Amino acid sequence: MRPLYEQALENIRAKVVDVYGPRKKRGHKRLYETLEIGKGDWSRKWRGETRFSDEDISALVTHFEAPNGWPYISWDAATASERAMQLLERFAMSTASPGPDVGPTAPASSGQPERRKRKGHL
């Protein structure tokens, strides 16, 4: 199994290339300026020479409006996980009791009032 950070870095790279294109096209400049990371620092982090800090990763998650779990799991896996959780929540809500609890029903009639009527007691 790959170390967690290496997987996160691979997922960050994949998303950045997906949104901004390959690094050679200089689409990354807008991203690292938005995240307030210097060009040299971004380059070292991109190449894996230094690590993205927790704050950098949090800023990337916010910037991309990423699903829970990304970048530590792939974007697709994180999206699938969120959808599964939404379905489970919907299912749980649909199986919940509909409306207020209903108390026990009245006991069955013993037939006593009907017998009295027939005998003229009522």
- The model's pLDDT over 40-56, given as tens digits with 9 standing for 90+, comes to 999 999 999 999 999 99
The reply to whether 101 falls in a domain is no
pTM, entire model: 0.70
Of 72, 11, 51, 21, the closest CA to residue 29 belongs to 21
Task: Indicate the pLDDT class of residue 1, thresholds 50, 70 and 90.
Answer: very low
The angle, 0 to 180 degrees and rounded to 10, between the axes of the packed helices 75-95 and 4-20 is 100
The reply to whether 110 falls in a domain is no
The reply to whether 10 falls in a domain is yes
- Mean pLDDT along residues 89-98: 76
Structural domains in the chain (count): 1
> Using an 8 Å Cβ cutoff, are 37 and 86 in contact?
no
Task: Return d(Cα 106, Cα 11) in angstroms, integer.
Answer: 63
The reply to whether 93 falls in a domain is no
45: containing domain: 4-83
The reply to whether 48 falls in a domain is yes
